[in-house]
Amino acid sequence: MIDFVNRPLVRLLLVGIPALALQTTFFAEVKIFGVVLQIMLALSIAAGLAGGSENGALAGFVFGLMFDLVVTSPLGLSALVFGAAGWGAGYLHSRAIENPKWLNAVALGLVSGLATFVMPVVANWIGVEGWLSSRLTKVIVVVSISNALLSFIAVPIARWSLAVRRNQRLAPPAEAFL
Amino acid sequence: MPVYSVSRRRAIALLALSSILLITLDLQGNSVVHGLRNIFSTIFEPVQSSTRVITRPLENAWRGMTHYGELETENERLQDQLDQQEGAFIAALATVRDAQELLALNGIDNLADISSVTAQVVGGTPSNYSQTIEINQGSDRGLRVGMPVVNAAGLVGRITWVDNNRSLVLLSNDSLYAIPVQVVNQPDMVPATTTTTTTTPTTTTTSTSTTSTSTTTLAPVAPLVTAVVDPNAPTTTPAISTATSTTIDFSGVDFGALAPTTTGVIVTIAPGTTAGGPTTTINLDDLPVAETGIFRGRGIDNAPVVEFIDQNSRFGEVQVGALVITSGGSQSLAPRGIVVGRVIKIVQRTGTSGAVLEVRLTAKLTALNFVRVLLYQPVATGTP
Q: Which residue of B has its CA nearest to A77?
A: B23
Contact B23 A24 (CB under 8 A): no
Q: Is A121 part of any domain?
A: yes
Q: pTM higher than 0.80, yes or no?
A: no
* Residues of chain A found within 8 Å of residue B125, distances taken between Cβ atoms: 28, 36, 71
A77 Cβ contact list (under 8 Å, min separation 6): A64, A68, A119, A122, A123, A126, A128, B19, B23
- The CATH number linked to A152 is 1.10.1760
Mark which residues 144-173 of A lie under 8 Å from B by CB: none
Q: Is A54 part of any domain?
A: yes
Contact B299 A17 (CB under 8 A): no
Q: Is B317 exposed, middle or buried (0-12, 13-18, 19+ CB in 10 A)?
A: exposed
State how far the Cα of A147 lies from the Cα of B54, in Å rounded to an integer: 23
Chain A nearest-CA distance from B137, in A, is 17
Q: Is A97 part of any domain?
A: yes
Range of the domain at A42: 2-165
* Residues of chain A found within 8 Å of residue B176, distances taken between Cβ atoms: 72, 128
CATH superfamily of B106-185+289-384: Rod shape-determining protein MreC, domain 1 (2.40.10.340)
Q: What's phi and psi for A121, nearest 5 deg?
A: -65, -45
User: Of B19, B21, B60, B295, which to mutate for an interface test with A (greatest number of A Cβ within 10 Å)?
Assistant: B19
State how far the Cα of A19 lies from the Cα of A16, in Å rounded to an integer: 5
pLDDT tens, position by position, for chain B (384 residues)?
Answer: 444 566 777 888 889 999 999 999 988 888 888 888 889 988 898 999 899 999 988 888 888 888 788 888 888 888 878 877 776 776 676 677 777 777 766 666 666 678 889 999 988 888 888 889 999 999 898 899 989 999 888 899 999 988 888 899 999 988 889 999 888 876 553 443 333 333 344 333 333 333 333 333 333 333 333 333 344 444 433 333 333 343 444 444 443 343 333 333 333 333 344 344 444 444 545 555 567 888 989 888 888 998 877 766 555 677 788 888 888 777 778 887 888 888 888 887 776 667 888 999 988 888 788 899 998 887 655 444
| Domain spans in chain B, listed from the N-terminal domain onward | 7-102, 106-185+289-384, 188-287
State how far the Cα of B9 lies from the Cα of B33, in Å rounded to an integer: 27
Q: Which residue of B has its CA nearest to A88?
A: B12
Contact A68 B22 (CB under 8 A): yes
* Residues of chain A found within 8 Å of residue B63, distances taken between Cβ atoms: 29
State how far the Cα of B270 lies from the Cα of B272, in Å rounded to an integer: 6
* Residues B130 and B365: beta-carbon distance below 8 Å: no
Q: Is A171 part of any domain?
A: no
Mark which residues 54-93 of A lie under 8 Å from B by CB: 54, 57-58, 61, 64-77, 79-80, 83-84, 87
Quote the number of domains for chain A.
1
Which pairing describes strands B116-123 and B132-135: parallel, antiparallel, or unpaired?
antiparallel
Q: Is A32 part of any domain?
A: yes
State how far the Cα of B145 lies from the Cα of A27, in Å rounded to an integer: 26
